[in-house]
Structure 1
């Protein structure tokens, strides 16, 4: 598994770093080897229970492999903690810095100063929105002061599979590829739009393996760097300005030694019938901030509106914004326009000032990269019950919880109420009585979940049901009615949670339950991710 290899690599890098001669010399006792005592993994806020179980298994497999290959069998293995999510870690950074740095350890003063006048002064409710590469996660937590410590209580959590990668894809489709089209048209290339569609659109029938590889390489070596450059320039501006123009110049994006491979460029620019050779080195274009804002808004608005609605409903005192995309002025303005809290209560973590305790701060004593909040916040959560001066928070009360309460057939990212199979369930409770669900199968079927009893609430993929390939050659019944059942905990070591109980045809005859394959699938698309294929939606490119 790639995840296991990734974990192995991560562990080896950590062990190398903590035992580096320079680090040991700076920290004292340079002759004493360092060892890992604890590994804290933060997870996406709405990560499902089956996914968490798989991650735990992969982490333990990687740890066992590292201990075996590095001959550390006599050394105790570190404890693995998988208890907190990334959005909770962001809140830990904020609360710790406010109490320790700004209120000198006076928790009561922090609560009274931070809570709005409409509250009782002893309670505080904070929402944190972590927008990463793959998911946008919201956690709402209330805090109460108990003596010199804080008692947190999670009120609401949600996560959607729309984030930075989707923004990047939108920038490539709406700005980078149209610029290539204009570039080819300006040089008299005939049928440039058709040519780009064949190179960057859906995979064509009979397309060679080499072209598929070149398509993916062109995406990673050319399109992605150009898209990231545009977003990188956009995030440098503190305020949104519709008149601003982002200039993209080939030589600036691809400096010395960073240019794409010649074979990759030939895939797109070896153009038969072109009246002149295409010199990519003079490729340049501009993107207006207004159009860039339109792209970012169109991608994120449906999901941000839902998360802002939940934040407003819970009447939060603060909204913390973390994750790299939170630095985009267009995205910050979109969130403020939704008015989940007053504008002065929206805290962007990248320019949030911290004390010298923060290990990854920039020269301005700001966090800088908001993604570091996940690691630093996890450290605070792990040490907050008795190991930090002037700060105590009962983080043992914070646990991951499933947001899958309504499971059903998903279509276009939503679950219609008529297609819900399991209602108001709690996947964290093994003893909950859940009735079996029967439905007519029209394979392949995508099963997803949502948290709220609202048809308009975005849904997330969870399972896929399809006929096994070995059964496709034989007679397939005209009608297949499938019954799903909840697995008993003792028969479910990998926490799959549900399985196919039986299959019945149109005559009421029982079919083999092995006719249908049910598997975990957490991506809504059936094909590979766009970053793996290099395929884009070019329907709007003109």
Structure 2
């Protein structure tokens, strides 16, 4: 029951801060049957409080669940939204002038009996604006990667000497609710600060509110009465109307789960067959704007509480969030006019086949909802100070890869804007302002800024000292034409086949002498390069920096060169699996090669029925083994075995799934999934794998850095922790080792938000991916005048690169010489058009900056012939034009005409021939199919002992 007694409340919440969770430990020894507590959240009913009533009292703004572990805990989800109490809200904002105290006791279980062992719980909902002031603004900064994602919460404290506070967002597992300890206290969990970017559909976190009855008084126009006894004209009349409607409570409508929770809810599912529930990272699928990736399948969602009552803890995709999402992912939420009722989509589509890129919006919405709940929790308010004031999400800042193409950048921005719009219409509806979106800095530039800011702080924030210490004497070349070679640079001490000075690449960015010299002193200029090896892309960014010392010290950067290649950590993991892990796994378990290929190899019609299980094995068995192998490689641990029977690495549920398929395919007892793996780190084999993946790329990047005469090189991203990666860069660059700075274990200072939680090595960066999100936060603060006496700006990329464009090989990520369509252009050349002919129904066109045939290319476009169900000859001649780069448009291609036939019909551009952008060469990505296409068996004997 609810009352307003003056008893001291145990839990203080703020009005209009969404849904807040309260954890209450129960006394030891109390256990409950599932028939009493069910699964997941339950609606709150309490026993009648007086002798005159025997009807349970509903409290619509509260839901509860009990999670039983070593100590059972009662969780309360309390919706703090203000509204008419007759509609189910706790209270009206207009009359809420003092604390509202809710005393909950005698909560009824599903059988209608009071829950045993549950104490009375008191919760205070406080009108903060009337007592402590308006909500403080919190700025959410997100680094959404292809493999891992992390976010920072930034707010300012102080009035005169404002100090920025950065706290990592820890993703809450909504299924296990393990962020609360046995005492019911929210606890810091560093492992939840960086989480897998995998995103899977799941039912909403809370139950939908039930319709409530309320009385309304409406004014209607009374019609005039006719006849002898009529009273003349009609007039307004007040009538009493009973309305039944569900209030918008618990409108955290998130329908995706990320990170570990995604694995947890998928493991509960009992559905079999080729079902699709999500992707390894929605950022990888921003190009996917229709249902073709689904290949005729429907989306399914996890339903861990079985609310849809399918018995499989899974159901076809349905729910209130889908109201904002059409299957073609149209951008109706971004129109200038507010959407009308007819603009929204169905909450229960007949065939849910939404475009995969829609998961990007859903994932960002999930992060916004989690951030909003967390910043208004007692745990965050106590940790950040000023605990008596609520919080608002004021801005959302996203980073993006340095080599991201313009079309992909615009789509990322659109998906983020839609996430903000959905948040503002649902959970964030009580905020005074809608969060503002910023895509202000690329990932490699953000690493630059983290490094620069940490160096300046250690020098008393005096840029004069740092620039004087780090600059190198550099000759000033005279201005030259674009095609004139630069002064010869000394050769890098590379392998014998790579000796010699680096010549300037055609079409490269103009050199320093051709740039604006107006800002600062060119003698103090410092050039910094960053190689950021992420999960999906490896980015290179080279910039020059100068400063002016005035009232506000002003550091200005200018990008000299930027590129990104779709080859990074995920490819290293894939090759580790193909060369070391899977072959050794098959050898240790005694799998016949044919069976290993069937279970773990490429997807073919024969194994498609096991797609869900293969995905489970890939992401729950093999990828964790590869990560454990990489951890041993970082620390060079050679004598510690890695095994899939270790529950800290592989969940036993995954092995049970594999054993069931073993028994089904080969018969019981033929293979034993619990056989010890006997896998050890082998430096020789591992070096061969790393060189196979990264050697050409790193040499190419180092040559470009030599061309631009860089002073400092930064290495970021998780693979940069590997000593071999660091050694390759040192080998290929003529720089002192002190000027090649791995961000892993680099001392940044005690202010750094990602440190070793155990207190070892304070101020040291423990995750080389974290400088990206930290740098983006620093950039946001500096750009908005929130850093004292410091100003920073980065001159935007001129988008002046010119590329080698060509048809990519389906077997590799390169472009053969005979398939080059355009070479780097002469700025003075006329418009370029070329023509080629193909009989393929799918042609990937990519770009690269190196003339080397073995150099990796990044996919950019897809030429797609739509044959539908027709059978016939396909032969199409394509005329394609290169559009030159301009200050606001990067170099791009355009198909201007096609001739020929598509499956026997005349080829028509826009009808059966389509030219669209696509940044993933193979939509059957191994993390989303569970299949490896190049398993090698030659090193298996070297991987074990």
Using the size of structure 2 for normalisation, the TM-score is 0.51
Q: In 1, are the aligned partners of 2:614 and 2:930 still within 8 Å (CA)?
A: yes
Q: In 1, are the aligned partners of 2:845 and 2:859 still within 8 Å (CA)?
A: yes
Residue 517, structure 1, aligned to residue 914, structure 2: yes
Superposed, 1:23-42 pairs within 5 Å as: 23-42=380-399
* Other structure's SS at 2:526 match: strand
Aligned-partner Cα distance in 2 for 1:338–1:531: 32
Is the alpha carbon distance of 1:287 and 1:271 closer, same or farther for their aligned partners in structure 2, counting shifts above 3 Å? farther
User: Residue in 1 aligned with 2:899?
Assistant: 504
User: Residue in 2 aligned with 1:289?
Assistant: 683
Once the two structures are superposed, residues 392-445 of structure 1 have per-residue CA deviations (whole angstroms, 9 ceiling, x without a partner) of 3223x245847564433223433456544455579xx9xx98555433233222
User: Residue in 2 aligned with 1:234?
Assistant: 633
* Other structure's SS at 1:248 match: coil
Superposed, 1:68-107 pairs within 5 Å as: 68-70=425-427, 72=429, 75-101=432-458, 103-107=459-463
Which one has a larger percent helix, Structure 1 or Structure 2?
A: 1
User: Residue in 1 aligned with 2:616?
Assistant: 217
User: Residue in 2 aligned with 1:387?
Assistant: 786
Which of 925, 928, 940 is the matching residue for 1:532? 928
Is the alpha carbon distance of 1:442 and 1:528 closer, same or farther for their aligned partners in structure 2, counting shifts above 3 Å? same
Q: In 1, are the aligned partners of 2:696 and 2:855 still within 8 Å (CA)?
A: no
Residue 160, structure 1, aligned to residue 160, structure 2: no
Unmatched 5+ stretches in structure 1: 489-493
Aligned-partner Cα distance in 1 for 2:656–2:775: 44
Is the alpha carbon distance of 1:121 and 1:203 closer, same or farther for their aligned partners in structure 2, counting shifts above 3 Å? same
Is the alpha carbon distance of 1:208 and 1:422 closer, same or farther for their aligned partners in structure 2, counting shifts above 3 Å? closer
Q: In 1, are the aligned partners of 2:615 and 2:927 still within 8 Å (CA)?
A: yes
Q: In 1, are the aligned partners of 2:621 and 2:650 still within 8 Å (CA)?
A: no
User: Residue in 1 aligned with 2:490?
Assistant: none
Once the two structures are superposed, residues 102-152 of structure 1 have per-residue CA deviations (whole angstroms, 9 ceiling, x without a partner) of x21221221111123557751111111111111111111111122332221
Residue 108, structure 1, aligned to residue 108, structure 2: no
Which of 189, 192, 198 is the matching residue for 2:598? 198
Is the alpha carbon distance of 1:466 and 1:511 closer, same or farther for their aligned partners in structure 2, counting shifts above 3 Å? closer
Residue 356, structure 1, aligned to residue 750, structure 2: yes
Q: In 1, are the aligned partners of 2:392 and 2:431 still within 8 Å (CA)?
A: no
Residue 169, structure 1, aligned to residue 552, structure 2: no
User: Residue in 1 aligned with 2:861?
Assistant: 463
Structure number with greater CO (CA < 8 Å, separation at least 6) is 1
* Structure 1 position 333, deviation (Å): 1.9
Is the alpha carbon distance of 1:404 and 1:303 closer, same or farther for their aligned partners in structure 2, counting shifts above 3 Å? same
* Structure 1 position 49, deviation (Å): 0.4
Which of 344, 369, 372 is the matching residue for 1:12? 369
Once the two structures are superposed, residues 442-483 of structure 1 have per-residue CA deviations (whole angstroms, 9 ceiling, x without a partner) of 32221112235665543211111121133x616546x42223
Aligned-partner Cα distance in 1 for 2:700–2:467: 28
Residue 143, structure 1, aligned to residue 143, structure 2: no
Aligned-partner Cα distance in 1 for 2:528–2:604: 49
Aligned-partner Cα distance in 1 for 2:872–2:593: 44
Superposed, 1:127-526 pairs within 5 Å as: 127-147=529-549, 148-185=553-590, 192-209=592-609, 211-237=610-636, 244-252=638-646, 254=648, 259-268=653-662, 272=666, 278=672, 280=674, 282-339=676-733, 341-362=735-756, 363=759, 364=761, 365-385=763-783, 386-395=785-794, 397-399=795-797, 401=799, 405-411=803-809, 412-416=812-816, 419-421=819-821, 424=824, 434-443=831-840, 444-451=842-849, 457-470=855-868, 473=870, 475-476=872-873, 479-484=875-880, 500-505=895-900, 511-513=907-909, 514-525=911-922
Q: In 1, are the aligned partners of 2:702 and 2:732 still within 8 Å (CA)?
A: yes
User: Residue in 1 aligned with 2:346?
Assistant: none
Q: In 2, are the aligned partners of 1:230 and 1:248 still within 8 Å (CA)?
A: yes
Instruction: Indicate the RMSD between aligned Cα atoms, in angstroms.
Output: 3.3
* Other structure's SS at 1:523 match: coil
Q: Which has the larger radius of gyration?
A: 2
Unmatched 5+ stretches in structure 2: 1-357, 476-521, 939-945
Aligned-partner Cα distance in 1 for 2:730–2:575: 22
Aligned residues: 516
* Other structure's SS at 2:641 match: strand
Once the two structures are superposed, residues 279-328 of structure 1 have per-residue CA deviations (whole angstroms, 9 ceiling, x without a partner) of 61533322312221221221111211111111122121111111111111
